[in-house]
Structure 1
Amino acid sequence: MTAEFGFPKACRLLDAAEFEAVFAQSQVSSDRYFTVLMRANDKGHARLGLAIAKRKIRKATARNRLKRIIRESFRLNRPQLPAADFVVLAKPAAATAERDVLWESLARHWQRLSAAAAAA
C-alpha cells in the first residue's frame, strides 16, 4: 500500500471548530443516502469528517458499517479530491442500502464536489 492511499490523522477533521467551519460555509451535494458538505482549506490536501447521527441511523452496527464504507471511499478517492474539508452526513435510507449502492453514491458526491471546486 502506498502512502497516498493512507488515512493519517492529518486527513481527518478532529475538533468541533473544524466541523463548525464546514457547516457554516460550504458547498453541498445531496442524494437519498448522504449529504456531503465541502469547504476549501489551506492544508493542501483533503480532510474528512463524519456526522452519522444516532437519530437518523438507530443501530450502532449500521452506523459503524456506514463509517467504514465512507472512510474507505474517501481513502481511495483522496488523491483526486481538491484541498478541502468534507463532512458526510448519513440519511436513514443509507442504513439498509447495499454497499455497492452506497459506494456509487459517494463516488458521485466526490466527483460532483471536485468539479464544483475546480469551477470555483
Structure 2
Amino acid sequence: MNFKFGRELRLLTPGQFDNVFKQPFRVSSPLFTILAKSNNLPHPRLGLTVAKKRAKLAVQRNRIKRCARNSFRLHQHLLPAVDLVLMVKGDISNTENSELQKQLEKLWRKIVRQHTALQSVAR
C-alpha cells in the first residue's frame, strides 16, 4: 500500500471545494465537521479549512492541518471514493494531537458507514 499524500488526493481549486458544498453528507464530532460528496475517481480527496476564528495563530492552524493530513494519509485506503472538506468547530488550538487523531479516526469510520448506507439507498 502507498501512504503518500500527493496532489491527486487533495482538493485544490475553489470549484472542487464548491462542488462538495453542494448537497454533501455531513459527519461531525465535538472538534470537527466533515462534508463529503461522492466523486468519480478511484480514491478519496481531502480539503482543509481552518479559520482564524477557530485557531488564532498560524502555528496552531498548521498543526491542526498537519494532524488532519497525516490521519487522512494513514486511513485513505479505508475510505470510499469521496471528496472531503474538513472544518474545525470551536477553539481547538489547545487540544492535544492525540485527541485530534482520536476524533479523526472516529470520523473516518462514520464516513465509511454513512457512504455505504447512502449507496445502498440509492440502488
Equivalent position of 1:98 in the other structure: 96
Q: 2:110 aligns with which of 81, 87, 112?
A: 112
Which consecutive residues of structure 2, in runs of 5 or more, have no partner in the other structure? 119-123
Asked if the contact 1:57–1:91 (Cα under 8 Å) also holds between the matched residues in 2, the reply is: no
Give me the CA root mean square deviation: 1.0
Equivalent position of 1:75 in the other structure: 73
* TM-score of the aligned structures, taking structure 1 as reference length: 0.94
Percent sequence identity is 36
Q: 1:38 aligns with which of 36, 39, 57?
A: 36
Q: 2:55 and 2:91 mapped to 1: Cα distance?
A: 9
Counterpart of 1:97, as a letter, is T
Question: Which range moves more in the overlay, 92-101 or 68-77?
Answer: 92-101
Asked if the contact 2:24–2:35 (Cα under 8 Å) also holds between the matched residues in 1, the reply is: yes
Structure 1 residue ranges (4+ consecutive) displaced by more than 4 angstroms after TM superposition:
none
* TM-score of the aligned structures, taking structure 2 as reference length: 0.92
Say which structure is richer in helix: 1
